[in-house]
Structure 1
Amino acid sequence: MAEAAERRRKSPEQILKEIERSKRGYFKLYIGAAPGVGKTYTMLREANDMLAEGVDIVVGVVETHGRKATAEQIGALPVLPLKPIEYKGRTFYELDVEGVIKRRPQFVIVDELAHTNVPGSKNKKRYEDVLEILDAGISVLSTMNIQHLESLHDIVEDLTGVKVRERVPDWILDVANEVQLVDLPPEKLLERLKAGKIYRPEKIPQALEHFFRPTNLIALRELALRELADDVDERLEEYREDDGAEEVAGASPKILVLVSDGGNAERLIRRGWRIAQRMKAELFILHVPTKPADRLSEAERKKLREIEALAKILGGKFFIRAAGGRPVIDVIVEFIKENAITQVVLGQTGMSRWQEILRGSLANRIMERTRFVDVLIVGNGQEKTR
């Protein structure tokens, strides 16, 4: 009995984690596969139920997109004034973070988590507003679509041909205490679109030809269901750890993404991050420059800053290792062994088949000089669309 009690006892780290989270507000996130599935409508309906039960809940910002049913769903919810911000001779209105914190409701509704605030706002992104409000001890209800997750950027663009510009880091799902999928079958969503319940009439034909093609909606729905299933698995694993369950024995997987200053670096990092998430592995990103730092152009420096920023957003560890006159493969293999890497992700090279035969491909050279290391070669966008 004493041994069982000892196993159930929480570690100091677990206790500190719970204390830290308890100081923050409760965060519930409503996620959908596409616009128009009813995320905001569902959130507002539940918020009105909370209001009827005596919860002090207010609207910080709601994006109705001209949808009458959504606007009507605000109902009796108190609405806080938005903050006017002047930019390029025009007045824009954004969430008033200071006003929310001063009002100190129990819950605040902050729609469209992936929204980019107008320049001059306190924070660049709305999810940063939400984090600040949570840190103030105020609970938040918010919404987003699955295509706004940073790691899904390339997948969504390949599926739909649409480049999603407003994105949030995937770790926002870890911050959320509760994630609810608002699901609607593609055929029902198309009925809503054609009935004018999602966009204005003049936008419907373009939507049907592009983002709202049935194949796109099916693929996005599958992505949403899979992502939420992974999130549930991770939460269950966390609960098991909190209950004192022993970890599975075995070596910890570590993923290494090799990037150059080429155009596919972001794609590789996102792919590596998703593999790391699936395997619950650490993520490393390595760049071995082919020329000294003082010979880099401003465009190349900017590209490296962007790569490093993306690695940071996704929680990866970014390294630059100069070759110093040594073969690049020596630097890569050395890094793999130093960090006990178990899987390497790299992009297709521009080498011809004859060049690979004469010089050896990078993937083959890595496998020849390491043990128990898997290598994944990710095709570039052009190759996939051929």
Structure 2
Amino acid sequence: MDAIDTEDADQLVATPEVEPVGRFRIYLGAMPGVGKTCAMLDEGFRRFHRGADVVVGFVETHGRDYTASLVRDLPVLARRRGTYRGRPAEEFDLEAALARKPEVILVDELAHTNVPGLGAHAKRYEDVATLLEAGISVITTLNVQHIESVAALVEDLLGVPVRERVPDAVVRAADQIELIDSSPQALRRRLLHGHVYPPDRIEWALEHYFTTRNLTVLRELALRFVADSQVPTPTLAVASRARWQAILETKERYLAGVTLSAASPRVLRRAARMALRSHADLYALFVHPDEYDPTRDAPRLDALRTLAADLGAILIERDGSDIATLLVDEARARQVTQIVVGASRRRRIDEILHGSVLNRLLRLAGPVGIDVHVIGVRDYDPSPDEFNG
């Protein structure tokens, strides 16, 4: 879809039904080449020529002449230069941006990993967070596959690794998310005409990543993410305290049961997607097992804590042996309506001799009105790679 005309939007700010443009805006796309960077530059250009103090912090043109031409007469911040593994490298200069302190800054590719030694942070989204804390409005771009809760699903569906990821909490913090849409057919035509990649990469891209199937899947994920993210935020200014309390009491809340197994990241990410669609709070419960060995297990537990934080989940840690009871007790204490767990991989004889946690969970949760979702898990290589994402 085309970018919203910001001039028209600004004229509507005085209308109570229309919210002003937010401090943090993301142009979201399903794939490279849909026009996210162009939309970001167009908005910056319009604001600049209406008198706003706009600076181009970092724009990645990927060698596309048309994209480079859209910078036009916008002020451009000098990049920070250095070397990495013996080769010249450039990065966004956060310190220079903070010293310049424009009203609005354009920073491309939110999921980008900064070159070691050239940036104040490891990730560009951390740079953006610092800019926002300094009171600088940020306009940025992002492809849907880089969102943490979506990345694993993309890997499952397309078989393509997603190495650069942005925590869901960062994306949800945006004041506005605008989808830059394109049909698979239109994007493939742009690719054929040389508007996305140089000629020597076009044939390979069309036969591999830019297949109609892949583009259709990614477009559906982007459309669904944006639709699921559009939730009104009631405040006491527009709702009575009684009505607000009723909203809180009826709101869906999810609790994921997680362990140190290599399948738990999949369960947690699935719960995060379910919670997003319901505009629900997300919790995760980890019960320390009796056989917990700090030397052996601490790295996986730390990785689980990091993943939960990236997904916007609150990780709760408890001691005990009755996992089903702990899950239900925690759910009731936090007014959780949905529990999400992975399917058991225990042998049938073990379940007969020692009892099934899932069966006990179903017996305890049903009478108190809590739904239980069981997520199928694959046969995982028990390496820590799945935790590290």
TM-score by structure 1 length?
0.83
Residues 297 and 213 of structure 1: CA distance in aligned 2, closer, same or farther (over 3 Å): farther
Deviation at 1:45, TM superposition (A): 2.2
Deviation at 1:330, TM superposition (A): 4.2
Distance in 2, Cα, partners of 1:51 & 1:311 = 39
Distance in 1, Cα, partners of 2:345 & 2:143 = 36
Q: How does 1:274-293 map to 2 (within 5 A)?
A: 274-293=273-292
Give the aligned residue type for 2:194.
G
2:72 matches 1:75 = yes
Distance in 1, Cα, partners of 2:234 & 2:315 = 30
2:302 matches 1:305 = yes
Residues 27 and 337 of structure 1: CA distance in aligned 2, closer, same or farther (over 3 Å): closer
Distance in 1, Cα, partners of 2:109 & 2:205 = 20
The question of whether the paired residues in 1 share the 8 Å contact of 2:257 and 2:339 is answered with yes
Of 317, 320, 328, the match for 1:320: 317
Distance in 2, Cα, partners of 1:286 & 1:48 = 47
Deviations 1:102-130 (A, max 9, x none): 12222211000111111222111111111
Aligned match of 1:5: none
Deviations 1:306-341 (A, max 9, x none): 110111122222122222xx4444444443444443
Distance in 2, Cα, partners of 1:381 & 1:214 = 27
Residues 329 and 54 of structure 1: CA distance in aligned 2, closer, same or farther (over 3 Å): closer
TM-score by structure 2 length?
0.83
Distance in 1, Cα, partners of 2:237 & 2:181 = 30
Of 357, 361, 364, the match for 1:366: 361
Deviation at 1:286, TM superposition (A): 1.4
The question of whether the paired residues in 1 share the 8 Å contact of 2:228 and 2:278 is answered with no
The question of whether the paired residues in 2 share the 8 Å contact of 1:59 and 1:77 is answered with yes
2:185 matches 1:187 = yes
2:76 matches 1:99 = no
The question of whether the paired residues in 1 share the 8 Å contact of 2:228 and 2:279 is answered with no
Distance in 2, Cα, partners of 1:353 & 1:187 = 49
Distance in 2, Cα, partners of 1:185 & 1:256 = 36
Distance in 1, Cα, partners of 2:333 & 2:93 = 48
The question of whether the paired residues in 2 share the 8 Å contact of 1:255 and 1:284 is answered with yes
Residues 206 and 347 of structure 1: CA distance in aligned 2, closer, same or farther (over 3 Å): farther
2:41 matches 1:40 = no
Give the aligned residue type for 2:317.
I
2:262 matches 1:267 = no
Give the aligned residue type for 1:238.
T
Deviation at 1:302, TM superposition (A): 1.1
The question of whether the paired residues in 2 share the 8 Å contact of 1:363 and 1:375 is answered with no
Deviation at 1:176, TM superposition (A): 2.0
2:334 matches 1:347 = no
Q: Secondary structure at the match of 2:73?
A: coil
Give the aligned residue type for 2:220.
E
Distance in 2, Cα, partners of 1:267 & 1:343 = 17
The question of whether the paired residues in 1 share the 8 Å contact of 2:229 and 2:279 is answered with no
Q: Secondary structure at the match of 1:238?
A: coil
Give the aligned residue type for 1:212.
F
Aligned match of 1:60: 57
Specify every segment of 5 or more residues in structure 2 that has no aligned partner in the other structure, as ranges: 1-19, 381-389
Of 28, 31, 41, the match for 2:28: 31
Specify every segment of 5 or more residues in structure 1 that has no aligned partner in the other structure, as ranges: 1-21
Deviation at 1:231, TM superposition (A): 2.4
Deviation at 1:353, TM superposition (A): 5.3
The question of whether the paired residues in 2 share the 8 Å contact of 1:160 and 1:210 is answered with no
Distance in 2, Cα, partners of 1:30 & 1:54 = 22
Q: Secondary structure at the match of 2:283?
A: strand
Distance in 1, Cα, partners of 2:371 & 2:195 = 49
Which moves more between the two structures, 246-255 or 141-150? 246-255
Aligned match of 2:5: none
Residues 341 and 181 of structure 1: CA distance in aligned 2, closer, same or farther (over 3 Å): closer
Deviations 1:25-77 (A, max 9, x none): 82221111111001111221232222332322121110111112111211111
Distance in 1, Cα, partners of 2:198 & 2:357 = 52
Aligned match of 1:4: none
